[in-house]
Structure 1
């Protein structure tokens, strides 16, 4: 239902949205476009699963990835800004994380970093620790949180 709410809010504000996805591989774009009428508010989605794709498609700086790793707020921020700059959107959400199985002591399974970029506003980044709840559950939680971030941004003045 949150994708329908997002559509309603974005349409009322005349906002176009783009997505930049790594660990969800297009699931956020899919959730948005599942709603009839989404073409009025959804411009495009970037699926950048590899580091090379992040650099080529979204202008994420390879030095950022080398310095802090792909699963980081810095990379999520650059992904969101890249999606905004390489689309006709006014608002972009980005996700990069470890859906599992696996992970490490420093980057555990279930860690997902989010970026939210909007024309004329500072870019926001945050990290969620969903835990080792399984790949499908991490990806579903990531989609839900990304939609919530978009809705919250469109609901604020």
Structure 2
């Protein structure tokens, strides 16, 4: 299964057929991932909700990301993406969680270059996967590419599980 924007429906259909639910915790995508999912008619049967945790302290407070990890590594980190995904699933009571973090620009953040993105997926039976990516383009392009990458990683997880 691929997760190109046109195939978001396919991802949602698989979740519905399995009777599984999904939640998201978003930083750089700022709700765009949730908005992309809810464009699919019938998604309410699988989508539990999401957290937009743009501020670093909210990643810990609302999504359960380890505060020491955030202090040591900053918010743009592969383990932060993994913990955002798990936190989304736990907080929202979902089978699957997806997390996004990165720098959309226009300026670097804490020494991390624009276009650096990490997406994470957490699922049943301890499924955990993180992907680090590098995108070019403006803010809108980077955010859109991050959403596509997050959905692709979710689709891969669904294929495995």
**Could you tell me which of 84, 89, 93 is aligned with 1:88?**
93
* Alignment partner, residue 118 of structure 1: 123
For structure 2, the 5+ residue unaligned runs are: 1-5
- SS of the residue corresponding to residue 151 of structure 1 reads helix
1:151 and 2:155 matched: yes
For residues 104 and 19 of structure 1, the distance between their equivalents in structure 2, rounded to whole angstroms, comes to: 23
Alpha-carbon offset, residue 62 of structure 1: 1.4
Point out 4+ residue stretches in structure 1 off by more than 2 angstroms.
Answer: none
Once the two structures are superposed, what CA deviation does each residue of 1:54-112 show, in whole Å capped at 9, x if it has no partner? 11111112110111110000111111111111122100110000001011694110011
Compared CA separation, residues 122 and 152, structure 1 to 2 (3 A): closer
* Alignment partner, residue 50 of structure 2: 45
**Could you tell me which of 63, 87, 93 is aligned with 1:58?**
63
Contact 2:103 2:109 in 1 (8 A): no
TM-score by length of 1: 0.94
For residues 29 and 122 of structure 1, the distance between their equivalents in structure 2, rounded to whole angstroms, comes to: 21
For residues 154 and 74 of structure 1, the distance between their equivalents in structure 2, rounded to whole angstroms, comes to: 21
* Alignment partner, residue 132 of structure 2: 127
For residues 151 and 67 of structure 2, the distance between their equivalents in structure 1, rounded to whole angstroms, comes to: 28
For residues 66 and 105 of structure 1, the distance between their equivalents in structure 2, rounded to whole angstroms, comes to: 12
For residues 127 and 10 of structure 2, the distance between their equivalents in structure 1, rounded to whole angstroms, comes to: 23
